[in-house]
Amino acid sequence: MISIKGLRKVFTSDNRKINAVDDLTLNIQEGEIFGVIGYSGAGKSTFIRLLNRLEEPTSGSIEIGEQEITSLNTRDLRKARQEIGMIFQHFNLLWSRTVKDNIAFPLEIAGVAKQEREKRVQELIDLVGLSGRENAYPSQLSGGQKQRVGIARALANKPKLLLCDEATSALDPETTNSILDLLVDINQKLGLTIILITHEMHVIRKICRRVAVMEKGKIVEQGDVLDVFSNPKKPVTKKFVQQIMGETDEAEDTEKILATYKEGKLVRLHFIGDAANESLISKVIRKFPIDINILQGKITQTQSGGYGTMFVQLKGEEPDIQQAIEFIQSETTVEVEVVRDVQ
């Protein structure tokens, strides 16, 4: 487990102190993919650089496994860093070296014998899907391929922890998804703990189970991704959720729906978790003699399940409609809210 307590980083600029990371406390479980999200200036990049002491903390403690990182001397820190891999937004590759030589670089520094080094490099090339590109130079690679080299290089010394600093921000959406799939694959195959920082909520949604939201150096909200998505408490978290759900004004949408549909019972369904994957509408139609007209809705998936809202119009005899609503409320986890009864 990674245990971070009271972590603080203060920079001084023009005789003014800036709390880049402010009294941050966080626990991350071994083997999980943990997301940290925040807008530019939130302190997330400083935070991740504190974890391997690329930035020296002003105060606080960082414990990775049973090792107190903040108390290590230079020699012990160098050794500890071999178990902490890191990938960057702009790849940070050595442009005069080939793919295999970039991946081999940390092994050379660690003094690994040539034969063992070559074997390890080939294993990593196969793992990240770069077979056939071993002798290419970074200038000959796409953005996604460069990041795959960066990931392979970060894994060279068989780390227990992988830090991802905006690892997909420089990539197009399709390439981003392929890199995220690769990180999930690596997490599952190697049991590697991954801490991923980003300003993109869809990245968190796709591969993380837990997330911490940062603002002005502090963690303002944290928890299971599904819980944070479905019930955001802070304004900054609500803005991130809008990245996924779209810039919608639910009150305005409700008024438009009410103005358009003048008959039947108008109902808002709230889906959270496994309920979002159920074939609810078809199940209700088969069970009760009513018509259901889907008016508007959006369901978004996370690693822990889906969430979202759907507006529907229920038409039929009042007793049948009421039985259908009671069935949904009693037999599923879908929340039902009657917006207007215009029978």
Kindly report the CATH number assigned to the domain that includes residue 264. 3.30.70.260
DSSP class of 121: H
Same domain, 191 and 259: no
Same domain, 129 and 213: yes
C-alpha angle 92-171-31 in degrees, rounded to nearest 5:
75
Q: Looking at 244, 259, 274, which one is the last position of a domain?
A: 244
Same domain, 254 and 187: no
Same domain, 328 and 211: no
Q: Looking at 224, 244, 264, which one is the last position of a domain?
A: 244
Same domain, 230 and 257: no
DSSP string of 306-333? EEEEEEEEEES-HHHHHHHHHHHHHHSS
User: Residues 89, 154, 20, 204: is their CA dihedral positive or negative?
Assistant: positive
CA neighbor of 186 nearest in space, from 224, 223, 148: 148
Distance CA 322, CA 314 (A): 10
Tally Cβ neighbours within 10 Å of residue 114.
Answer: 10
Same domain, 182 and 272: no
* Per-residue confidence (pLDDT) for residue 305, from 0 to 100: 76
Q: Where are the beta strands (DSSP E) in the chain?
A: 2-13, 16-28, 33-37, 59-64, 67-68, 84-88, 161-165, 193-198, 210-215, 218-224, 264-273, 291-302, 305-315, 335-342
Distance CA 301, CA 312 (A): 20
Tally Cβ neighbours within 10 Å of residue 315.
Answer: 15
CA neighbor of 271 nearest in space, from 238, 229, 323, 224: 229
Mean pLDDT for each 10-residue chunk of the chain (343 residues)? 94 87 95 95 94 94 91 90 90 93 93 94 95 94 94 94 92 92 94 94 91 95 90 90 65 63 78 70 89 82 79 88 89 83 61
| Residue 48 neighbours by CB under 8 Å, 6+ apart | 36, 86, 163, 165, 195, 197
Same domain, 132 and 99: yes
CA neighbor of 87 nearest in space, from 7, 19, 186: 186
Same domain, 232 and 171: yes
Q: Looking at 244, 264, 296, which one is the last position of a domain?
A: 244
Residue 109: CATH number of its domain: 3.40.50.300
Same domain, 52 and 187: yes
CA neighbor of 246 nearest in space, from 209, 201, 197, 293: 201
- Total structural domains within the chain: 2
Same domain, 231 and 89: yes
At 76, is the secondary structure helix, strand, or coil?
A: helix
Distance CA 5, CA 23 (A): 8
Q: Contact 36/47 with Cβ under 8 angstroms?
A: yes
Tally Cβ neighbours within 10 Å of residue 123.
Answer: 14
Same domain, 155 and 297: no
Q: What is the largest CA-CA distance in the chain?
A: 80
Same domain, 212 and 322: no
Structural domain that includes position 104:
2-244
